[in-house]
Amino acid sequence: MALELGNEQERPQPLRVRTYGDPVLRRKAPPVDEITQAVRDLAARMIVTMYENEIRGVGLAAPQVGVSLRLITLATHDPDEPIPPNASPGERMLSPRMPIALINPEIVKASSAMEEAVEGCLSIPEVQGGVCRPASVVVKALTLGGQTIQAECGGLLGRCLQHEIDHLDGILFVDRWREVDSMAHGTQLRAIEKKAIRSASGGRRS
Ligand code: ZN
C-alpha cells in the first residue's frame, strides 16, 4: 500500500502510544495554526504508528502519541479494495486517499439517527465495548496540503471520525459506552491506568 510519508528521507519512526490514565489523553487539544514540516512529519509518524501497532489501528489522534494538537490520521479503508456502492460521500472522497491526515477536523452536523457498534482504542488495549453514536456526520477539515474538505461521512469512517475528534476534546470511548461494558471492564481499565501512571512517573513499562 502506498504511504504518503512527507519529505523525510528516512523512514518515519513509530511513536509510543499513550494509554488510559496518561493526562495528555484528557486535555482539550489546541488547533494547528500552520501546516509546517513538523506537522507533516508528525502525521507521517502517526500513520506508521497506526500500521505498526500490534493491533492495526484504523484511526489515531495526536494526543494518543503525546502531542496535544488537533491532528488525526485515518485508515478505515484499504485503497486497493473497491469502495462499496452504498458508501457515503465522505467515504467516496477520502477512502481512495487513505491513509490520510486531517487537520482541525470538526463535526458540522450530526444525523439524528443513531447507531451502536463495538469500538476499541489503541490507548485502551484489549478493551472493547458498544458505543452509540450518530450514524453519519458532516465533517469539515483541512488536508496536509491545505485543502478544505467538507463531506457527509457514514459507515466506519463516520464512526472513526467521531471517535478521533472526541480524542481531541479529551473524551474517550469508555466515557460513552453502555453501563454493562463499564461494569464488565472496570478492573481492566484500572489496571491500564495504574500502568500509565507508573510509566509517566518514570517507572518502566512491562
Ligand atoms: Zn481511540
CATH number of the domain that residue 120 is part of: 3.90.45.10
Residue 204 has pLDDT above 80, yes or no: no
**What is the tally of structural domains in the chain?**
1
**CA 23 / ligand 1 centre spacing (Å):** 14
Q: Which residues surround ligand 1, an ion (CB under 5 A)?
A: 121
Residue 1 has pLDDT above 70, yes or no: no
**CA 164 / ligand 1 centre spacing (Å):** 6
Residue 6, pLDDT score:
52
CA distances from 4 to 33, 41, 60, 90, 201 (A): 22, 11, 16, 20, 35
Residue 205 has pLDDT above 80, yes or no: no
Rounded to an integer, what distance in angstroms lies between the CA atom of residue 62 and that of residue 43?
8
CA distances from 20 to 164, 197, 201 (A): 15, 9, 14
Domain boundaries, position 182: 23-200
* 154 found inside a domain: yes
* 1 found inside a domain: no
Residue 189 has pLDDT above 50, yes or no: yes
Residue 203, pLDDT score:
53
Residue 11, pLDDT score:
86
* 2 found inside a domain: no
* 14 found inside a domain: no
Task: Please indicate whether residue 54 is annotated as part of the active site.
Answer: no
Each residue's pLDDT tens digit, 137-179: 999 999 999 999 999 999 999 999 999 999 999 999 999 987 7
Q: What pTM, to 2 d.p., does this model score?
A: 0.90
Residue 2, pLDDT score:
43
**CA 163 / ligand 1 centre spacing (Å):** 6
**CA 125 / ligand 1 centre spacing (Å):** 10
CA distances from 27 to 13, 24, 30, 171 (A): 25, 5, 9, 9
In the block, residue with C-alpha cell 484500572 = 190
Residue 206, pLDDT score:
42
Of 8, 106, 126, 164, which is the active-site residue?
164
